[in-house]
Chains A and B, each alone.
Chain A
Amino acid sequence: MEVSLNSQAATLERPMAATSTTNLGIPVYIYATALASLSIIVGLIWDISWHTSIGRDGLLSPPHLAIYFGAVVSGFFSGYQVLKTSFWGSTSEKQKSVKFWGVFYGSLGALFCIWGCFAMLTSAPFDDWWHNTYGLDVTILSPPHSLLALGMIMVQFGAMISVLALQNQPDPAHLSQGQRQLRKNILQSIFIVTAGFFLVMLFTITSQYQNRNDMHGVTFYVVGALLYPLFLSTVARASKLKWAATYTAAVYMLVLMLMVWILPLFPAEPLLGPIRNFITHYQAFEFPLLLIVPAFAIDFIMQRKGHINNWLLALIIGPLFVLLHLAVQWPMGDFLMTPLARTWFFGQESWYFGSNPNYEYRFAFADWQVSTGWSLIKGLLIAMVVGILFTRLGLKWGNWMKNVMR
């Protein structure tokens, strides 16, 4: 050991100090970054809904403010944490941090949040220039939007890592058994919630490949196999909770459902022409994928086979995820096309104001959207291979996260 200090003693030397909110030893920036993560995801979905319902926005539109609020809160609290630890922090605080550029100390989560904040702020003038140069894009994925998305993801990931590091550190010595349990519950809950927000983000930025018309095509399943086994395996491995992936998927579904239920309650009218679909209220974003089903399976397998070789585990989880995703989403795709889904609960009536409401494939699968025969089998096999590889990656990532302590 290059340095050896008793961390518990160090904690006692300066118990929680000014960076802690309560005597549970959970710093304010943990709550702040979790709030930032929520603000970002709500702002993003609101913004998408704004663009499909109203169209015209400015730099300071309410959804943008919600997103910037997330960036600023996470950046401010994380920056403060880094500067305070670097220049006014105690030895023990520095020892719980990573050192960088010779003078700075900070938690890894704070660094991710700072990066995310700067990336989001950089994307604003970039996006503005982009709109002036190539027109106001009505797509989710463009280079400046991708930088923004990367920033948002990093803020959200920073929130997760900050909680995990705290959770992975030894409990503060001064806490009673009850306080330790309470602290553990709070940290685990915040982790699950921030992981759920992160999952919403993953879905949102790739949602143009995952709407109801995509659910009978193999691309949908390849994209799903790329994103969800990776992240759900990571969460299941990193969290100390028994049903971590299931809870995460539940948070994901709840957030999206709440957005589907709440946004259309508010009036909205298109302010840009041409208007082809005449609407009077906000158009909902997507109904969530039923990820709780494969997530439950992942937790179940992890509980029973979590100890076996990671490659073998990936061989089970990857294909299982694809099959369960297929078993759930294929019929769900059919259901979402029916009038039963055009209700407040599922929100499938929602339609961009500039699109023809009588579009023949609005509530039907076009031929080119449906994979059949060999192309379906080949696509699903590819999805399974992708699922295996990304589950394996997720397990590795989860192992790393389990060990993050700073």
Chain B
Amino acid sequence: MKALVKTLFISYLILYIHPVNSHVGSPGVIFEGEAGDYQIMVNINPPDVIPGTADIQVYSTTEGIKQIFVRPIYWHTGDEGSPRADEAFPVENSPGQYQGEVWLMENGAASIEVKVIGTQGEGTALVPVMAVSTAQKEMDASLGWILGGLGIFLVILMITIIGNSVSDATQAPGEIMPGQKRKKIIGMAVATVIIALILYGGMSWWNSWADSYRRYMFKPFQANSSVEQTKHGKKMTFQIDSSYLKYRPRTLSFNYMIPDHGKLMHMFLIREGSLDAFAHLHPVRKDSLTFEVDLPPLPTGKYFVFADIVRGHGWHETISDTLLISEPGMNVQLASMQNEGSWQPSDPDDTYIISNPVQPEQVMLAASNIVTCGKPGIKTPLPDGSTAIWEHDGESLQTNRLYPMTFSIFNPDGEPAELEPYMGMMGHAVVMKTDGSVYIHLHPVGNYSSATQDLIKRRIEDENPIFAGFSHAEHFRDSVDQVVASIKAMSEEERSNYLMQLMGHELNYEGEGEHEGHSVVVFPYSFPEPGNYRVWIQMKRNGKVLNTAFDAVVTE
């Protein structure tokens, strides 16, 4: 019976979990979906030190909202272990915007429950967040000076007090016996030495505290990427370094990885510097730490590698690395393009795209089907003759502002395109700052929210306030491997339908005006820092994956 429950639990995890997006340098979590009858968009800025507070902004255009409440729900303790909700208050001079704050006390997979109360009754939405300490802060110079000054004052005063304690203080009023001055000096000298020792001890204590914080602070896992030439082409091995696991809870073991959109790992390779080669791959697990993938015919060069993975309790993270693809003795740019067409992907959903370099002065790759990257507000041709436009009013993009990045796709005849689901979604996007310091894998509106709600709802339905733990690690891994293999073995249509069902996703995508139907994909996002960004989007039309990219400049 127990085994059956565990099997069901694992099956449930595999089938229903869908996490928020993994990232590098982009910690904000964005959600667009429904809370009951209210359409809301939520932007959560999690704390960079745990325990700490998450800032929550809720936007809604639905009329009749009276109050909005927010509260944290941890995976480990469910809703039973959550405090009562705090109100998110309307933001002055910003109709439809509410701001709230939630304390996240422990590291771990958590979620924010947003409850909306209004004329249309009550509605709730659940937005997963990962609570981790990531910041290593230094003291401001001004605070340092203030504290330093007060510290010096305290030291001098204490030396004075001790000097007086052993001399004048023990003298009867009005009487000073001989030798008190000497006693005072000796007392002050001894006090100085003792205080110096105490300060030294305090400093060592502080340092050990800081070391301990650094040790347990969230640090992404490291991995080693390598390429070897096989008779079928280039094979990439991605080896995760597990040494950091000793500072992390057991639930983060790689045996507890679960698939996301039917894949255990979503890996993105982006050519460093020019960003003109991009691949979305799905490596195959060889053992709990080793993954392999047959590389597409990418040009030589150094690549950013981002691998997104999810654990069984909703914990998701990105493991990043770099990879050098080289072909000694051959033309640097075109070396590996020669086997284009002969590539046998390890996974049927693996894709890649070659585009123009991000800087105009960089050399354009010589390859067929080169995609020309678009810019916000300008219609851009796609390789299959269709066109895409990032609908934006021309204003410059700003940091920390929530944008519904809206992409409309048109058929070659100019009519709105009929997009099809790709890996269970209407689209995938990758946003990257050109220096690689910001990376995020986004999905369109509405998809992940319903599945995530489902996951958290299941956890909430479990009345045990303390999570009982996963099953045996290897059994868990084997079960997951079997499910992933069976999804991979499906026909493309079967797989697509299956993943759509898995996400609880129906083809009811809402568009506006002339873009009604499935011609529009929206990725809500808030750029975390200024700089030059490239945004790759992937959709499907006429059974073929459409890849394109846009360049954007984001200012403060």
Using a CB–CB distance below 8 Å, which chain A residues touch chain B?
1-7, 10, 55-56, 92, 95-96, 98-101, 108, 111-112, 114-115, 118-119, 121-122, 125-126, 129, 131-136, 138, 142-143, 146, 165, 169-170, 269-276, 278, 354, 356, 400, 403-406
A273 touches B169 (CB 8 A): no
Q: Is B51 an interface residue (CB 8 A)?
A: yes
Q: Which residues of A contact B157 (CB under 8 A)?
A: 111, 114-115, 118
User: When the two chains form their complex, are residues A143 and B209 in contact, meaning their CB atoms are under 8 A apart?
Assistant: yes
Partner of B133, one of A122, A135, A143: A135
Q: What are the 9 tightest A-B residue pairs by CB atom distance, in nearest-first order? A: A274-B77, A5-B174, A95-B174, A96-B173, A274-B81, A136-B51, A403-B170, A98-B164, A7-B173
Which chain B residues border A111 with CB–CB below 8 Å? 157, 160-161, 164
Chain B residues closer than 8 Å to A136, beta-carbon distance? 51-52, 105
Q: For A55, what are the chain B residues with a Cβ–Cβ distance below 8 Å?
A: 83, 103, 105
Cβ–Cβ contact A133 & B49, under 8 A: yes
Chain A residue numbers with a CB within 8 Å of B209 are: 134, 142-143
List 9 extra interface pairs beyond A1-B176, A3-B174, A122-B147, CB under 8 A: A2-B176, A6-B174, A98-B168, A108-B161, A111-B157, A126-B147, A136-B51, A276-B77, A276-B466
* B77 adjacent to A1 (CB under 8 Å): no
Q: How far is the CB of A271 from chain B (nearest CB, A)?
A: 5
CB pair A4 B466 closer than 8 Å? no
Question: Is B161's CB under 8 angstroms from A115's CB?
Answer: yes
Q: Is there contact, CB below 8 Å, between B205 and A271?
A: no
B166, B175, B210, most chain A CB atoms within 10 A: B175
Name B's A-contacting residues (CB within 8 A). Answer: 49-52, 71-74, 76-77, 80-84, 103, 105-106, 133, 135, 137, 139, 143, 146-147, 150-151, 153-154, 157-158, 160-161, 164-166, 168-178, 202, 205-206, 209-210, 213, 465-466
Q: Report the nearest B residue to A104, measured CB to CB.
A: B160
Q: Find the A residue at minimum CB distance from B210.
A: A134
Q: Which of B50, B52, B77 contacts A275 (CB 8 A)?
A: B77
User: A115-B161, A276-B466 are contacts. A99–B146 as well, Cβ < 8 Å?
Assistant: no
B173 and A95 contacting across the interface, CB-CB below 8 Å? yes
Q: Which residues of chain A have C-beta atoms less than 8 A from B153's C-beta?
A: 118
A246 to B205, CA, bound (A): 36
Asked whether A98 and B150 contact (CB < 8 A) given A133-B137, A135-B52, the answer is no
- Among B71, B166, B205, point to the contact of A143 (Cβ < 8 A): B205
What's the Cα separation between A273 and B135 when bound, in Å? 21
Some 20 contacts from A to B, beta carbons below 8 A apart, are: A7-B174, A114-B157, A122-B147, A132-B137, A133-B49, A143-B205, A271-B103, A273-B73, A273-B77, A273-B105, A274-B72, A274-B77, A274-B81, A274-B82, A275-B83, A354-B105, A400-B165, A405-B172, A406-B169, A406-B170
Distance, CA A26 to CA B25, complexed state (A): 64
A131 to chain B: which residues have CB within 8 Å?
49
Q: Which residue of A lies closest to B71 (CB)?
A: A273
B81 touches A405 (CB 8 A): no
Q: Are B103 and A56 in contact (CB under 8 A)?
A: yes
Determine if A405 and B173 form an interchain contact, defined as CB atoms under 8 angstroms apart: yes
CB distance from A155 to the nearest CB of B (A): 13
Q: Closest approach, in angstroms, between the C-beta of A162 and any C-beta of chain B?
A: 11
- Chain A residues near B77 (CB, 8 Å)? 273-276
- Shortest CB–CB separation between residue B49 and chain A, in angstroms? 5
Q: Out of A115, A119, A170, A276, name the residue touching B465 (CB < 8 Å).
A: A276
- Indicate which residue in A118, A138, A275 contacts B82 across the interface (CB closer than 8 Å): A275
Measured between alpha carbons, how far is A72 from B188 in the docked complex, in Å? 27
Chain B's nearest CB lies how many Å from the CB of A168?
9
Q: Is the beta-carbon distance between A1 and B175 smaller than 8 angstroms?
A: yes
How near does chain A come to B37, taking the closest CB pair, in angstroms? Answer: 27
**Which of B71, B154, B161 makes the CB contact (< 8 A) with A122?**
B154
Complexed CA–CA distance, A112 and B157 (Å): 9
Task: Considering the complex, give the chain B residue whose CB is closest to the CB of A10.
Answer: B174
Q: How far is the CB of A141 from chain B (nearest CB, A)?
A: 9
Q: Across the two chains, which residue of chain B brings its CB closest to A126?
A: B147
Decide if A135 touches B49 in the complex (CB within 8 Å): yes
Tell me if A404 and B169 are in contact (CB < 8 A): yes
Considering the chains assembled together, what is the distance between the CA atoms of A165 and B172 in angstroms? 10
Select which of B82, B147, B174 is within 8 A of A4 by beta carbon: B174
Q: Which A residues are CB-close (under 8 A) to B171?
A: 405-406
List of B residues within 8 angstroms of A134 by Cβ: 49, 209-210, 213
Q: Using Cβ atoms and an 8 Å threshold, which residues of chain B touch A100?
A: 160, 164
- The CA of A354 and the CA of B52, in the complex, are separated in Å by 16
| Least Cβ–Cβ distance between B184 and chain A, in angstroms | 10
Minimum CB–CB distance from A353 to chain B (whole Å) comes to 9
In the complex with contacts A134-B213, A275-B77, A406-B49 CB distance below 8 A: no
Cβ B158 vs Cβ A276 within 8 A: no
Q: Report the bound CA distance from A101 to B154 in whole Å.
A: 14
> Would you give the shortest CB distance from B70 to chain A, in whole angstroms?
12
- Are A274 and B173 in contact, CB atoms less than 8 angstroms apart? no
* Interface pair A400/B170, CB less than 8 Å apart: yes
Contact A98 B169, CB 8 Å, known A118-B157, A273-B77, A274-B74: yes
Given A115-B157, A135-B49, A273-B71, residue A169 in contact with residue B173 (CB < 8 A): yes
Question: Which partner residue on chain A sits nearest B102 by CB separation?
Answer: A273
A31 to chain B, nearest CB (A): 21
- Compute how far the CA of A98 lies from the CA of B174 in the bound complex, rounded to whole angstroms: 10
